Amino acid sequence: MLRTLTRVVRALDDASVAFALTGGCAVYARGGPPSDHDIDVLVPSTEAESAVQALHRMFGMRPVDPEESWLTKVYDGDWLVDVIFRPNERPVDGATLARADRVRVGPTSVPVMPATYLLTDKLLVLGPHRCDLAEPLQWARALREQVDWAEVDRATGGSPYAAAFLSLCERLAVAPVERRVTVSVTDRSEYVAERLARVLAQDPRTAELGVEVEARGGEVHLRGVVTSERQHAEVAGVAAEHSADHRVRDDIRVVGTANAPGQEDVS
């Protein structure tokens, strides 16, 4: 993995592609447990294609066209490199990458995202179908002195899964008890809206539908057009499952059927 990481750093530096290491390798770089997963790098969306071309051109890494819309992939032999440009529906930009600092990792020096970002990003992935706390707990134990716990609490506000994890860290004396900050209703609603938009984009039942999600006051607002009552029901079902305790205002219109669209609230 360190050999592949060294190649990634060399290729992207030579191509002047802005990037930063994230994920398990970044945690390892900052003193956390070793990672035997893939290598994750953040790049702006405008440079994702340039990054893939640089990796292929210099070291023959094999590009892969993934199903996901928020990253692209290349293989260096058996090692996978994820080139991520929109983690958790938050676009990577210059301000994101400016938070990274150069860290020595094996034979190379690489821009690495800070511990607070790494833990926040990990917690935002938690949900009803992905709720294994073992790995983020390992990260939190190893990096706790580097983490701004109040910032993690603020950035994950509205996620009951992140709140449960942070409470566990308090009980285990990993995080300070005084870490909590006040999170407004608007902040929580925005988090729920972002998460629901990501789920609707990735769920195969709803991925092709033109449904928009936005936070409005203390509500999450759905709007757009679908072509059947079945599609409408699928969107409503996904929304109900992933809206936590928020009220979802359903203003989706059904066109192309004899039935008039209903205007209803989904809890």
**For residue 258, what pLDDT is reported?**
47
Q: Read off the pLDDT of residues 189-212 as tens digits, 9 standing for 90 and up.
A: 676 777 777 777 777 777 767 788
Q: What is the CATH number of the domain that holds 25?
A: 3.30.460.40
Average pLDDT over residues 59-75: 94
Question: By CB neighbour count within 10 A (0-12 exposed, 13-18 middle, 19+ buried), where does 93 fall?
Answer: middle
Residue with the bigger pLDDT between 2 and 241: it is 2
Residue 147 and residue 207 share a domain? no
State which of 53, 78, 113 marks the end of a domain: 113
Residue 79 and residue 54 share a domain? yes
Residue 60 and residue 121 share a domain? no
Q: Read off the pLDDT of residues 76-116 as tens digits, 9 standing for 90 and up.
A: 999 999 999 999 888 999 999 999 999 999 889 999 999 99
Q: What's the predicted TM-score (pTM) here?
A: 0.71
Q: What is the CATH number of the domain that holds 230?
A: 3.30.1340.30
3-state DSSP of the chain = CHHHHHHHHHHHHHCCCCCEEEHHHHHHHCCCCCCCCCEEEECCHHHHHHHHHHHHHHHCCEEECCCCCCEEEEEECCEEEEEECCHHHCCCCHHHHHCCEEEEECCEEEEECCHHHHHHHHHHCCECCECCCHHHHHHHHHHHHHCCHHHHHHHCCCCHHHHHHHHHHHHCCCCCHHHCCCCCHHHHHHHHHHHHHHHHHHCCCCCCCEEEEEEECCEEEEEEEECCHHHHHHHHHHHHHHCCCCEEEEEEEECCCCCCCCCEEEC
Range ranked top by mean pLDDT from 47-51, 103-107, 152-156:
47-51
Q: What is the domain count for the chain?
A: 3
